[in-house]
Amino acid sequence: MGITTIAFILLSLMAIGSAIMMISSKSPVHSVLWLIVVFFAISGHYILLNAQFLAIVNIIVYAGAIMVLFLFVVMLMNLNAETEPIKNYRLRLIGILSGGSLLLVLIAAMMKIDVAQPVLMSTGDSGLIKVLGHALFTNYVLPFEISSVLFLSAMIGAVIIGKKE
C-alpha cells in the first residue's frame, strides 16, 4: 500500500464522515461548517488526481464564497429548535428504507468491479490552467459558450423574482 492509497483512504473517510456529520448535526451552523470540511477533503482528492487548479477553485468558490453565503442565510433565518418542522416518522422510515436499498444495490454492484489499481496518481501537466484553458477553448468551446445562456437566464430570473412589482 503506497502513500497515495493511504492518503486516498484518509481523505475518503474524512469526506464521508463529515458528510454524515453534516446531515446529522442538529444546528444548521454546524452543518455548514462540516460541509466546509467535505469540500476540503474533495479538494484533496483533486490534488491526488493531479488537478491542482480544480482543487484551488473548489476551495475558493465552494469553501469560500458559497459557504459564507450559506452561513449568512442560516444566521439571518435564525433557525432553532422551535422553528423546526414536525418530523414524520413514517416518512423517515420510508426514506431510510429506499435510501438503504439504493446503497445496498450500489455496494453490491461496485463489489463486482475489479480494478487493477484502485488509486492511480496522475502525473504530468494535465491539471495546469494552461492545459485546462486550451481544452476549454478548443474541444469544449461549444458547451463553454452555451453555458452563458444558462447563466443569463438565471440572472434574469433573479431580477424578475427580486424586483418589486
Partner 1 sequence: MNAIILTAIWGVIMMFCGVFVKSKKAPKFIAITGLLLVFAANAVELATKKSFFNIQVHDMLQMDSFNLAFLAVIFGCTLVFFLLSGADVENVGSHVAEYFALIFFVLCGVSLAATFNTLLILFIGIEIISIPLYILTGSDKRNLKSNEAALKYFLMGAFSTGIMLMGIAFLFGGNPTASFYLQHLQIGVGPMPVLIAFGLVFMLVALSFKVSAAPFHFWTPDVYDGAPTVFTSFMSTIVKAAGFFAFLRLFQNAFGNMHDQWQHLIIFITIATLLIGNVTAVFQQSVKRMLAYSSIAQAGFMLLAVFALNDRAKEGILLYAAAYSLATIGFFAILIKMEDYTIDGFNGLARQQPLLAFTATVFLLSLTGVPLTAGFQSKFFMLMAAVENGNNFWVVIVAVLFAAVSAYYYFRVIQAMYFKEPGNLPLTRETELTGSFKAMLLITAILIIFIGIYPEILVGWMYH
What SS3 string covers 58-110?
A: HHHHHHHHHHHHHHHHHHHHCCCHHHCCCCCHHHHHHHHHHHHHHHHHHHHHH
Q: Cell numbers of 111, please? A: 463489489
Q: Quick check: 59 and 39 in contact, CB under 8 A?
A: yes
- Each residue 126-155 as x (binds partner 1 by CB under 8 A) or -, in order, gives -------------xxxxx--xx-xx-xxx-
Smallest separation (angstroms) from partner 1 to the CB of 163: 7
- Each residue 32-71 as x (binds partner 1 by CB under 8 A) or -, in order, gives ----------------------------------------
> Is residue 159 at the binding interface for partner 1, with CB under 8 A as the rule?
yes
Q: What is the contact surface with partner 1 in residues (CB under 8 A)?
A: 106, 109-110, 112-113, 139-143, 146-147, 149-150, 152-154, 156-157, 159-161, 163, 165
